[in-house]
C-alpha cells in the first residue's frame, strides 16, 4: 500500500487534488491512473482532476494538470491561482509576485494576502494564440477562427476558437440557462476538426462588460468554472466586437465571478479567488490502472 499527502483546493468550485512534489514522489507512469482515481467522488477524494506542484529549472514552481479522465492538460487558470496560493502559504516562493512554469510556458502570479492567507490571485496568462494551427484546429494554417460556420450533426453553428495554451471553442447563446452544455459539449470536445480535443464554452453576452459562461471541459466534462476558458471567452468577445480591449470584463461562471482584461499590451490578466478545502493522506495500490 502506498500513500501521499494532498490538499484539495478549488477556484470557483473547479476543484483539484494538489500534490506537493517538493515533499512527495509519485510514479510518472501511474499519474493518469492516480488522476482518475483521486477524482472519483465515490471511491476517491472527488475533484475535477489532479494538479502537481513541482520543482522547476525556470521558475520557483511548476504546475502540471491532469483532467479527471487522466489526460494531461497544458494550462489551468483556476489551478494556477490555487498553485500560487499554496506556493505562497507554504514558503515555496519569496514575495507576492512570482513566476509559475506550465506546459504552455511561464505565467506570472500576484497574490493578495489577508491575515497571512491568500484571498485572491491575479495571473498574467500571457497572449492568446489565435492562429488556427495554434489552437490547434484543422483547416487553413494561419487563419484565425472568428465567427466561423461549424456544422455538427447537420446543424450549423457559429464558433470562435482561442488557445490560452490549451484549446477552447466558444459558442454564443441567447440564454445561458438553455445552453446545450451536456449535449453539444461532448460532441465537440472530441470532434476530429480539433486534433487534440477542445474545451467547449457557451457564452451569453450581458453587456460590453459582463458575460455569462458555462463549460464542458476537455477531459473533465461539466465543471463549475474554467479559468482559461473564461479568458478565451473574453478574447473571443473582443474579436467579435461584443466587448472592448483593455476593459475589465466580469465573467459569471456557475461557481462565481472572474475579472478578466485583454490588455492593449496583448496580455490577458485574470483575477479571482483560490480556496483550500482540506488536506489529508491518500492511500493506493501501485500498479492498478484505475
Ligand X SMILES: N[C@H](CCC[C@H](N)C(=O)O)C(=O)O
Catalytic residues: 76, 226
Residues 107-126, mask of contacts with ligand X (x by CB under 6 A): --------------------
CB of 100 to ligand X, least distance (A): 13
Which CB sits closer to ligand X, 258 or 286? 258
CB of 108 to ligand X, least distance (A): 16
State which of positions 8-67 bind ligand X (CB under 6 A): 14, 65, 67
Pick the closest to residue 274 from 51, 41, 71 (CA basis): 51
Identified binder of ligand X from the candidate list 8, 193, 214, 218, rule CB under 6 A: 218
Count residues contacting ligand X (CB under 6 A)?
Answer: 19
Distance CA 84, CA 95 (A): 11
Distance CA 241, CA 178 (A): 23
**What's 112-127 look like in SS3?**
EEECCEEEEEEEECCC
C-alpha cell at 265: 499590451
CB of 120 to ligand X, least distance (A): 15
Q: Where does this chain touch ligand X (CB under 6 A) — which range of 1-9, 71-79, 154-162, 241-249? A: 71-79
Q: Does the footprint of ligand X cover residue 228 (CB under 6 A)? A: yes
Pick the closest to residue 120 from 109, 105, 131 (CA basis): 109
CB of 8 to ligand X, least distance (A): 15
C-alpha cell at 27: 510514479
Q: Does the footprint of ligand X cover residue 220 (CB under 6 A)? A: yes
Instruction: Say if strands 199-207 and 155-163 run parallel, antiparallel, or are unpaired.
Output: unpaired
Pick the closest to residue 282 from 20, 72, 107, 101 (CA basis): 20
Q: Does the footprint of ligand X cover residue 251 (CB under 6 A)? A: no
State which of positions 161-180 bind ligand X (CB under 6 A): 166
Q: Does the footprint of ligand X cover residue 217 (CB under 6 A)? A: yes
Which CB sits closer to ligand X, 182 or 207? 182
Q: Does the footprint of ligand X cover residue 219 (CB under 6 A)? A: yes
Measured from the Cβ of residue 59, the count of other Cβ atoms closer than 10 Å reads 19
Q: Can you tell me whether residue 278 is helix, strand or coil? A: strand
Helix 227-239 to helix 77-89 angle, to the nearest 10 degrees?
130
Total residue length of the chain? 290
CB of 105 to ligand X, least distance (A): 14
Q: Does the footprint of ligand X cover residue 102 (CB under 6 A)? A: no
Pick the closest to residue 75 from 108, 101, 37, 56 (CA basis): 101
Which CB sits closer to ligand X, 74 or 242? 74
Pick left, alpha or beta for residue 219 (phi over 0 → left; psi -120 to 50 → alpha; otherwise beta).
left
Identified binder of ligand X from the candidate list 226, 236, 261, 270, rule CB under 6 A: 226
CB of 144 to ligand X, least distance (A): 20
Enumerate binding residues for ligand X (CB under 6 A): 14, 65, 67, 73, 76-79, 166, 199, 217-220, 223, 226-229
Amino acid at each position: 500500500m502506498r500513500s501521499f499527502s494532498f490538499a484539495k483546493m478549488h477556484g470557483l468550485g473547479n476543484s483539484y487534488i494538489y500534490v506537493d512534489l517538493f515533499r512527495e514522489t509519485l510514479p510518472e507512469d501511474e499519474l493518469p491512473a492516480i488522476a482518475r482515481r483521486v477524482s472519483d467522488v465515490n471511491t476517491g477524494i472527488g475533484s475535477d482532476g489532479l494538479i502537481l506542484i513541482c520543482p522547476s529549472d525556470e521558475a520557483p514552481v511548476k504546475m502540471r494538470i491532469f483532467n479527471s479522465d487522466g489526460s494531461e492538460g497544458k494550462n489551468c487558470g483556476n489551478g494556477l491561482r490555487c498553485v500560487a496560493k499554496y506556493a505562497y502559504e507554504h514558503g515555496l516562493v519569496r514575495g507576492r509576485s512570482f513566476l509559475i512554469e506550465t506546459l504552455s510556458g511561464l505565467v506570472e502570479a500576484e497574490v493578495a494576502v489577508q491575515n497571512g492567507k491568500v484571498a485572491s490571485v491575479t495571473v498574467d496568462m500571457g497572449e492568446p494564440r489565435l492562429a488556427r494551427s495554434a489552437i490547434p484546429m484543422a483547416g487553413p494554417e494561419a487563419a484565425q477562427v472568428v465567427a466561423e460556420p461549424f456544422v455538427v450533426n447537420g446543424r450549423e453553428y457559429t464558433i470562435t476558437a482561442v488557445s490560452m495554451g490549451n484549446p477552447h471553442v466558444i459558442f454564443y447563446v441567447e440564454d445561458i440557462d438553455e445552453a446545450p452544455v451536456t449535449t453539444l459539449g461532448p460532441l465537440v470536445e472530441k470532434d476530429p476538426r480539433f486534433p487534440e480535443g477542445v474545451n467547449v464554452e457557451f457564452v451569453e453576452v450581458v453587456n460590453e462588460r459582463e458575460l455569462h459562461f458555462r463549460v464542458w471541459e476537455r477531459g473533465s466534462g461539466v465543471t463549475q468554472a474554467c479559468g482559461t476558458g473564461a479568458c478565451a471567452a473574453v478574447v473571443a468577445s473582443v474579436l467579435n466586437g461584443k466587448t472592448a480591449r483593455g476593459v475589465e470584463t466580469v465573467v459569471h461562471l456557475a461557481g462565481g465571478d472572474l475579472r478578466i482584461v485583454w490588455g492593449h499590451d496583448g496580455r490577458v490578466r485574470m483575477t479571482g479567488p483560490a480556496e483550500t478545502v482540506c488536506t489529508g493522506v491518500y492511500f493506493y495500490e501501485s500498479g492498478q490502472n484505475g
